Structure 1
Amino acid sequence: MKVQDSIRARLILGAAVVLVTFVAGAGWAVQRAHQDSVLTQRFAQLQSTVYLLLAGAEIDDAGALVMPPSFPEPRLSLPASGLYANVVNVAKREEWQSPSTVGAEPPFQRDVPVGQWRYDTRTTQGRTYLAASYGVSWAGKTQPVPLVLSVLEDKSEFNREIAVFERTMWTWLAGASLLLLLSQTLLLEWGLSPLRRVAREVRRIEQGEQSEVEGRYPAEIAALTGNLNTLIKQERVRQTRYKEALSFLAHSLKTPLAVLRGALHEPAELPAAVTQQVARMDDIVQHQLGRAAASGLARFAPHLAIAPVLHRIRDSLQKVYADKSLDFAIDCPAGLSWRIDEGDAFEMLGNVMDNAAKWAVHRVRVKAWTERRRLVLEIDDDGKGFGDTQAILQLHVRADEQVPGHGVGLAVVNDLVASHEGELKLERSEWGGGRVRIALPAA
């Protein structure tokens, strides 16, 4: 599996890179800080040795340098001990070197201005030394005597101390890094375990072993699993609707087909029977296709502006029923929008408003508003109103047999409203005509 295909691999690799970078940077900073600290400490010790030389040095009456035979620092008396001292009497061109210089040739500093300290690293014959030098004007009996005091220490001891510290530090840092990486890996495994459980549940859903995601998950995943269950539910409802539509279609077409077969034996009645039954079959097909294609309650549908839909339907109906000169009023807030499929909205509102315009005498009014997380639509007309409100919602039942149509419109609307888990009511308008009231809940 490639790294880019796995969140787990990405997180572990990213954590490892960040951890190694941080530990390397921190280790380098600590190493430099320790090295600078030890170097400062070494120079301070060399400075103390210079002061020790100053305390023991004397100038005789002739202006010559006189040094004691031994010092409290025993390494100055031990040959090749690694600590070496030198005092130069600049006026007499004489110098004194500690007994530790026997067999060694340390590169002493001999030209330091009076009152100045010099700290540096000096190398000779493949050996490196830490050096501290100080120039001083000694008050002699006749005149000041300039002296240069220089102390050198073999840097190998300093290097060993630094190497021991670095080895110990990097060993512990490496161990701590491995422990942290292991801990982080375990934490990632624990943190990503809900995703693995979701994946297992989805596989079981695909294999038909369960119907939806059943487990309880953290808040960050709960929204995902909830939406996934909604999609699964909507898809199953849609598949069920397709199957039912096909079943109802097959069942509903049996009667018209039987009528046509019977009409074959009576040639005189055949044209009228064919015309009537073909129209009936067309209505049945339209009704069942409308039921099957209904999107239903859609959580993921975009918000649809309701007012433009109403105005477009009104403009079309005014052309269709131009001979009636209807007063078609739309009462809908301009900013009203709702989560609904555009095709469902046009199918639902188009059928209801068409029925209102078909039965109206002079006026049709459409109102739309929201209340208690529901979209409410009321379509009123001043026609004759409804008789049997329950029967009208069934296929091929019409309120007025003299009005053209086959009773399909309100039946389709009823199915569409039901697919949106809404409510459709047929009432009497304030003008004495019909009122269709539709209430759709929020997705």
Structure 2
Amino acid sequence: MLALLLFYFTRQQELEKQQEELREIGFDLLGYFNFNKGAFEVDPSSREDLMKFLVKEGFGDTLRDSSAYLQATETSLIHWHTLAPEENLSSPKFSEIKDVIISFPIKAKPGLSVIDELAPEPDKEDKDIDLEMEHDKSYIVYAYGFQHSPYGGYQLVIARSAQELQNSTQAMMKNLIYLFIASALLVLFAQLASSYWVISPIRDFDEEIKRIESGNQETIANHYPEELTPIKGTINTLIQYEVGQKRRYRDALDDLAHSLKTPLAAIQGYLEQVDKIKGNLNPETASQVDGISSQLENMKGIVSYQLKKAVVTNHHALITPNAIRPILTRLRESLLKVHHEKNFSIDIKVESNIQVRIDEDDLLELFGNLIHNACRFCENIVEVNAQHDGNMVVINIDDDGMGFPDNNPSKLLQRGIRADSKTEGQGIGLAVCTEIVEAAGGKIELLVSPQVGARVRVRLPS
């Protein structure tokens, strides 16, 4: 827009400059004429000076570039023309070129003082007249009107080729186009550069977050613009808080396991003493002793597991994604051995690239509990499948057993509630699974399996 305005004002200035030049030429030209009884005459002593003046100002013997004429405004009668500058109105030569002069296509309206750029419009009735000019050219026309009483009004009309103005206009337009292209490229380059400098810190920030997620970095360490500094501080605070929470949680389990280790060792010692006199006990008492020994081994296994978990756990605040297929494969091998007395299969339909953002030990505990329950109640098959659902992974564990109670299966997710009171257990397996899933930001549901048994659906973040 600014360039167009500049072009418009420059062109107007050039037209005004041409107007001033033509006005001065017109006043100088009128100085060579005497007006006598309705006719314009050139003083004989001034004829040579007039011819020099016309040559100097570019008036030739053709209409191609510049021309001028004196005309009566009421009758449109031409009294003098640059095609015959030394002839008067009544001379034979002037009569010879009269038709050419009258048909001259650049005409100003009588009585007007005007400056404009006009295109020629030849008279169609004068096709046989050679105007000796290019009709596709434009001309700058200046007209100056004046009165000579009582003979009426007259006007001096000067026409000059606009080719020079057009050339300068075209050159200016070309320069403006070049300037526009250069400005557009400069603006584009500036935008790209500014975008790079603006986005670069955000890209670096994102890279640090990814390194934290992968466990290669503890906190956001680099310096960033002040707009990102509050976010950096908030994220680092959350990370440190989460690390502290996890450490306190693991330490509490470690302390609990250590505190149970000594009493369990004492009980083990007592059982070893009882085992020496086991032959003197009646069968019922001996069976009870064996049951206590079995439960003691289970407790020792739980204590050992928690101690190991406290030692080897990952203390990073952000959990790295873990593939679930290897874990499910390990559990299948173990659970088939545990339930070797049953003739069933565990079918795993999970792609190797499906990962969830949850601790590996928690995954073992979660799927171990769920698949173990499915193995206990199935008839012939346990099936595990998984697929992505947005930023979550949906895992279905199906069996072809008796299914869940119809009235309110969700109550089984509470601690102490059991679906089968005839088998061993404390009713905390599904509750522990629920706590693990919800702590990871997921959801667990109890549904009906396509096998007409039970389906446990787990949603975990990917």
Flag the structure with larger Rg.
Answer: 2
